[in-house]
Structure 1
Amino acid sequence: MNSTNHSPIKDELNKNESLQIWWRLLRPHTLTASIVPVFVGTMFALTHSHINVLLFLAMLLASILIQAATNMFNEYYDFVLGLDNESSVGIGGTIVRDGISPKTVLRLALTFFAIAMLLGVYICVASSWWVAVIGIVCMLFGYLYTGGPYPIAYTPFGELFSGFFMGTVIIGISFYIQTSVLTSSVIWLSIPVAIFIGSIMLSNNIRDLDGDKENGRKTVAILLGRKNAVRLLTILFITAFSLTAAYVIAGILPIWSLLALLSGIKAVDVIRKFKGKKSSLEMMPAMAATGKTNTIYGFLIGLSLLISNYV
């Protein structure tokens, strides 16, 4: 690597060393997409029955490991395909900036998958072996998101798949392993969370639009154009908040869940941060704010369900 080859973006991004290199590989700002669904699904289960804390922790760790492994597959395959370089924004950068072997990243991703599978065995023994089938499908799509001959992330369906599997499916599993049933209400409940998770992916694709377009991707952001993609993001936010209010009125969610509408403040901040921005580095705060919107919304929904169980 040529040490004299610097760029403002590289200097801005390449600030952390030692163990923080591995922390960045996990892309911690994206892990909210794996934590929120398990928390929400488990808290909703608490309104129906007692919960098994060990099952909750096992499900939470397995979900985080699958998300982290998916991020690593993304890092590995984008490098193999020549899509990442030292100035790429939004990546862990362990390969192109820190010199970590691509094979090491791939092995670590597979190790995370293996640990998640062991946790899955415990979850299945305590609940149902049908969970294993769904879990394997989730891991398969986690790999296919950026791996395989036709990566989902390079198509217009990335937001849909990520929202469905990380939102609806994970919430459904988290609820089922605690209650042994799957109700229509938990499916309805999962939709706003799925929308917010899909919005994280959309926000990421809006930020990376120019580079993705050059590399032949066909994401929704590219097909719509940046301005229309931001408008779509706005519509998704409004839809998620409207559904939340409708669920409270319909009795699916308790009145306390109106607290989750406070996360709309951060959602407005996301749109504001995107407006007028053109470079990937300028849009990084908007991307981070999208993840925070999901975190705040999910925490407040889960908290509202917890409160309703004891009030």
Structure 2
Amino acid sequence: MRLYERSSCLLQPPDYSLMNDSTDAQDVSQARVWLWAARPKTLGAAVAPVLVGTGMALEAGAWHLLSALLALAGAVLIQVGVNYHNDYADYVQGADTQERVGPLRVTQAGLVAPQTMRRATILVFGLAVMAGLYLIARGGWPILAVGVASIGAAIWYTAGRYSLAALGLADVFVFVFFGPVAVGGTYYVQALSLPTEVLLAGGGPGLLSIGILLVNNVRDVAEDRRAGKRTLVVRFGRRFGVAAYGACLVGALLLAGLLAAGLFGTTPHPWAALPLGLLPLAIGPIRRLSETTDPEKLNPLLGATGRILVLWALLFAVGWNL
């Protein structure tokens, strides 16, 4: 599931315009290449739901350190595996070309051979399975089902003609797996129970993760259309993508307020409304996506939306415990 890429200058890969026929892949350290391929800034989407689930488990008196750490490790490894597979599959299927306007893809740039990237994907998913063995033993078949489904959805995202991206179903799966499933799974492996309010809270990270995906899809709409990717933005147009992005950001903030007030029949947690304070941070990205048509100028919105996601998770988790 392609989410957002790097915005930090310390991790920024070379610009495509600087990569010409005289550029030797050996001039770039392999460690840095694999770091670029892992897309460090995407990891916030994996960490955020773990923060929310752990924060809610802590408030319930069910915090379990080892389970929380392994849930975090598994989530991060699955996200890295998603990124590696996306890097490989988009190149093989022709979605990543020299006309790409987004941040660097190492397979397309010739820095990693396709088969090497494929083997790395398998290795990382294997490590995620190893991290999850204890969680499966603790939580039973529901955790096994979640793990298998998560890895399966990651592979299906760009797996050929009937992939999630090609069918325009990626947004739904991003919401489910980066939202209620991730938050609920994190809570469950610690508390061994699953209150409805936990799944509802998962809607916040889920909506913001869709927002990150929408930035990518608005930026890449022309490229996706040529590659046959029937994203929702390709199907319904740029204006739809912008409106959906705004709805996801504002909706996530409002959801925190509703949960804080106990309007879903749950116990009120007034301080859990802290994410509402992020509204000023959300206005700028919504306006920029609406007004900017140059795809390259939309890249900073990926990091901006990712920061809102992590801040939402931190503020909600802290507020739920106050």
Match of 2:274 among 259, 268, 280: 259
Q: What is the rounded CA distance, in whole Å, between the counterparts of 1:44 and 1:271 in structure 2?
A: 29
Q: TM-score, normalised by structure 1?
A: 0.90
- Paired-residue identity, %: 26
1:269 is displaced (CA, Å) by 1.8
Gapped runs of 5+ residues in structure 1? 1-7
Q: What is the rounded CA distance, in whole Å, between the counterparts of 1:105 and 1:230 in structure 2?
A: 33
Contact 2:15–2:104 (8 Å) recurs in 1 = no
Match of 1:108 among 117, 120, 127: 120
Query: Counterpart amino acid of 1:268?
Result: I
Q: What is the rounded CA distance, in whole Å, between the counterparts of 2:149 and 2:301 in structure 1?
A: 31
Change (3 A) 1:13 1:279: farther
Deviates more, 1:74-83 or 1:232-241: 232-241
1:212 corresponding residue in structure 2 = 224
Quick check: 1:62 aligned with 2:74?
yes
Q: What is the rounded CA distance, in whole Å, between the counterparts of 1:284 and 1:13 in structure 2?
A: 19
Query: Counterpart amino acid of 2:257?
Result: A
1:148 is displaced (CA, Å) by 4.4
1:167 is displaced (CA, Å) by 1.1
1:202 is displaced (CA, Å) by 1.3
Deviates more, 1:293-302 or 1:89-98: 89-98
Q: TM-score, normalised by structure 2?
A: 0.87
1:201 corresponding residue in structure 2 = 213
Contact 1:73–1:147 (8 Å) recurs in 2 = no
Q: What is the rounded CA distance, in whole Å, between the counterparts of 2:254 and 2:109 in structure 1?
A: 43
Quick check: 1:53 aligned with 2:59?
no
Aligned residues: 300
2:170 corresponding residue in structure 1 = 158
Contact 1:163–1:198 (8 Å) recurs in 2 = yes
Query: Counterpart amino acid of 2:126?
Result: A
1:272 is displaced (CA, Å) by 2.3
Q: What is the rounded CA distance, in whole Å, between the counterparts of 1:231 and 1:88 in structure 2?
A: 24
Quick check: 1:138 aligned with 2:150?
yes
Alpha carbon RMSD of aligned pairs, Å?
2.1
1:242 is displaced (CA, Å) by 1.8
Q: What is the rounded CA distance, in whole Å, between the counterparts of 2:63 and 2:118 in structure 1?
A: 35
Q: What is the rounded CA distance, in whole Å, between the counterparts of 1:128 and 1:295 in structure 2?
A: 29
Contact 1:253–1:305 (8 Å) recurs in 2 = no
Quick check: 1:168 aligned with 2:180?
yes
Contact 1:25–1:91 (8 Å) recurs in 2 = no
Match of 1:39 among 48, 51, 66: 51
Q: What is the rounded CA distance, in whole Å, between the counterparts of 1:238 and 1:132 in structure 2?
A: 33
Could you list the per-position Cα deviations for residues 97-120 of structure 1 after superposition, in whole angstroms to 9, with x for gaps in the alignment? 243111111111111111111111
Q: What is the rounded CA distance, in whole Å, between the counterparts of 2:221 and 2:316 in structure 1?
A: 32
